[in-house]
Amino acid sequence: MTDQYCVIGNPVEHSKSPWIHARFAQLTGQDLRYEKRLVERDAFARSVQAFRAEGGKGCNVTVPFKFEAASLTARQSDRARLAQACNTLRFDGPDVFADNTDGVGLVSDITRNAGIDPAGRDVLLIGAGGAAAGVLGPLIEARPRRIVVANRTQAKAVLLIERHAALAAKHGVRLEAPALHEVRDGFHVVINATASSMIGAAVPVPPSVLRPGALACDLMYGSAAQGFVEWAQGHGAKARDGLGMLVEQAAEAFLIWRGVRPPSAQVLAELRATLA
């Protein structure tokens, strides 16, 4: 029987995950179906239950359910526990295993697809919502010299770095959480993990944060990321949208479910061509 997977979210119509996983399955010879499920905001846990009862093998979780997904099960990866947010659930018989592949997806995109090694560099992570929480742990594991987490609501960034203090100490990474308006000095890697591009708001930091030749990534993709991409390129940075992270986090979820790593660079190139 064909194994069933889905992405659960609200909204979810825009999701490219069914296309990505269908292509991964074709290229690796895996027999699976992957669909989108739009779920009412108070019905997440019920919907996961229903999908399992139908024989579902696992699901991705997107906005606004990543935090709730983390409270569904005690069986979590270390990175999901640190993030307190999950984007991947695997159903193991009566048990549910929860993981967060967003951060490893972003780090894979930066290192493999953009060819930048964050080790020893200065990184600015803007935002302290679900996406930022998911990426901070894997960013620390990439061993930059320093990560500055700056968020509009500073207290959330402070909590986030406090939660990651032990991991940062283990890897010798300096963590700071200044007020957003105080961030001015230059970084090698700048990551916009806020919703600014999604809502059409201005880039929330000045261009001085971009060192010459910096890599600037927005987690948003498509036309909504265009403003950030133009801002970064206009100030001499290499710009990247979130499409690579999207494909790489999906590849990691596919590995968790199927035990096979799909050819993510090929699928990213195909997806970019499809969307162009």
Which residues contact ligand NAP (rule: CB under 6 A)? 63, 102, 127-132, 151-153, 156, 193-199, 201, 204, 219-221, 242, 245-246, 249
CB of 225 to ligand NAP, least distance (A): 8
**Alpha carbon distance 172, 147 (integer Å):** 11
Point out which residues pair with 217 in neighbouring strands. Answer: 191, 240
Nearer to ligand NAP, 30 or 84 (CB): 84
Task: Name which of 59 and 193 has its Cβ closer to ligand NAP.
Answer: 193
Instruction: Find the shortest distance in angstroms from Cβ 112 to ligand NAP.
Output: 15
Give least dist CB 137 to ligand NAP, A.
Answer: 14
- CA–CA gap between residue 228 and residue 197 (Å, rounded): 7
DSSP code, position 121: -
Nearer to ligand NAP, 55 or 206 (CB): 206
The active-site residue, picked from 16, 66, 156, 170, is 66
State the nearest-atom distance from the C-beta of 198 to ligand NAP, in Å.
4
In this complex, which beta carbon is closest to ligand NAP, that of residue 25 or of residue 133? 133
Pseudo-torsion of CA 54, 55, 61, 64, nearest 10°? 20
Strand partners, 269: none
**105, 122, 144 from 147: Cα distances, Å:** 18, 6, 7
Residues 34 and 7 sit within 8 Å (Cβ to Cβ) = yes
Instruction: For residue 92, give every residue at least 6 positions away whose Cβ sits within 8 Å of its Cβ, in sequence order, or none.
Output: none
Distance CA 269, CA 140 (A): 28
Residue 238 known to be catalytic: no
215 - beta bridge partners?
A: 189, 238
- Please identify, using beta-carbon distances, which residue of 52 and 176 lies nearer to ligand NAP: 176
Which residues does 78 contact at the CB level (< 8 Å), separation at least 6?
Answer: 137
- As measured in angstroms, the least distance from the Cβ of 53 to ligand NAP is 28
Residue 78 tokens read as 């270390």
Q: Which residue is closest to ligand NAP by CB? A: 129
Residue with Cβ nearer ligand NAP (63 or 158): 63
- Pairing between β-strand 3-9 and β-strand 95-99 as defined by DSSP bridges: unpaired
Q: State the nearest-atom distance from the C-beta of 96 to ligand NAP, in Å.
A: 21
Number of CB atoms found within 10 A of residue 55's CB:
11
Which active-site residues does the annotation give? 66
